[in-house]
Amino acid sequence: MTAPEQGSTYFRKGFGLKGEVEETLAADYDGSLVDLLRSRDHTLTVGGVTVRLAREFGFCYGVERAVEYAYQTRRKFPDRRIRLVGEIIHNPHVNRRLGEMGIEILTPGQDADGKPVFDYTDVSPNDVVILPAFGVTIRDFETLRGLGCVVVDTTCGSVLNVWKRVESYARDGFTALIHGKHYHEETRATASQVGRYPGGHYLVVRDMSEARLVCAYIEGSGTREEFMTRFARATSPGFDPDLHLRRIGVANQTTMLARESLAIGEEVGRAVARRYGDEYRAESFRTFDTICSATQDRQDAVQELLRESLDAMVVIGGYNSSNTISLAALCAERVPTYHIEDATSIEAETRRITFRPAGVKHSEASAVDWIPEGSGVRIGLTAGASTPNNKIGETVARIFATRGIDVRVVDAA
């Protein structure tokens, strides 16, 4: 079943209220310091410190669209109860702002297998339910449509493109091997698309090390029990590696590290060829680059910035933002990198920064005097696709404040 066209209870194209919410959106998320950086070739130098902003950063089109549609929904239905299926994007400030507007964020529980599941028993036909930019599973979508409530679908177009690819794999009898995080909202929604066809299956691999385990099994190494234990939460119901790794189509969560997604596709393809031959690979293996253009643009811009001489790199975005995590991983390969959620992580008076080290989950670290003394200091800056400009500007101000430079002086520099 494909998504219905825009109609009386299903909306994918907003409500024609963009002009009515633009001023509010600008007030909530625009940043004057970011505008100043843009006007000065993404460079601002004051008091011996230079901040270099990557040329692609922050809100992407899909995020802007999702947030705008949420604002339009509140304007369209001022007196209706509005629910949001999880976070609309992975930015705590944006989600908090929606909560302040009276949009209730539904949080998932867990089923018997430990997988996230939403409870819609309290949703009535009179409610309005917003689907996030990541999309929702087929089961969630069909449940909400069956309830008869108004559904506002903000699923990103890049995500929909991956869904079409995965659906085509299932239709043609290929298992979808998805490079992503099995617990991530987008990957769960993407994986569910195999359910559109009887016998559809998926397997999610987190990184190259897991992909190599899959390759080894394809080539005859390891036991079925070991494999299923390792990927217990990352496979479709009824998945059998002895049957379902014979025809494979590779896809990915749109916000993963692009080069790793491409490398995983190549690695799995070579394993298939080694086991069954090149002719079999040509018939029974498919791979496509399904990284979204905004994710790719931000990664490319960071790579370009890293060619310069930098003393440190600050990456701004939610700790649960996959595309921000990918940016931080790229930066950490070349320069001391500090992934922060917002400017409050920088304490100007104590010269301390609290951050999430690249590759570390669920814990923070801190550093003092992270900005070197002396003149000629160069700090690189970028932000994930769910980070608004005002939070980027606040971070720029804190960076300068750490060297005793007042934000008002920076703004007038």
What are the catalytic residues? 186
DSSP string computed for 255-303 = TS-HHHHHHHHHHHHHHHHHHH-HHHHHHHEEE-----HHHHHHHHHHH
Nearest to 165 by CA among 247, 248, 234, 251: 251
- Taking the C-alpha atoms of residue 315 and residue 155, their distance in angstroms, rounded to an integer, is 25
97: amino acid identity, one letter: R
Structure tokens at 91: 């930015």
Tokens 């690819």 correspond to 165
**Backbone φ, ψ for residue 383 (5° rounding):** -150, 145
Q: Is 109 helix (H, G, I), strand (E, B) or coil?
A: strand
Q: Is 333 helix (H, G, I), strand (E, B) or coil?
A: coil
Q: What is the DSSP letter of 195?
A: G
How is the chain split among helix, strand and coil, in percent rounded to 5? 45, 20, 40
Q: Are 253 and 264 in contact (CB under 8 A)?
A: no
- Taking the C-alpha atoms of residue 312 and residue 379, their distance in angstroms, rounded to an integer, is 5
261: amino acid identity, one letter: S
Q: What is the DSSP letter of 384?
A: -
105: amino acid identity, one letter: I
Q: How crowded is residue 326: how many other Cβ atoms within 10 Å of its Cβ?
A: 25
- Taking the C-alpha atoms of residue 92 and residue 319, their distance in angstroms, rounded to an integer, is 9
Those residues with Cβ within 8 angstroms of residue 390's Cβ, 6 or more apart along the chain or in another chain: 28, 29, 30, 31
Please name every residue paired with 104 in a beta bridge, in sequence order, or none if there are none: 83
- Taking the C-alpha atoms of residue 361 and residue 413, their distance in angstroms, rounded to an integer, is 39
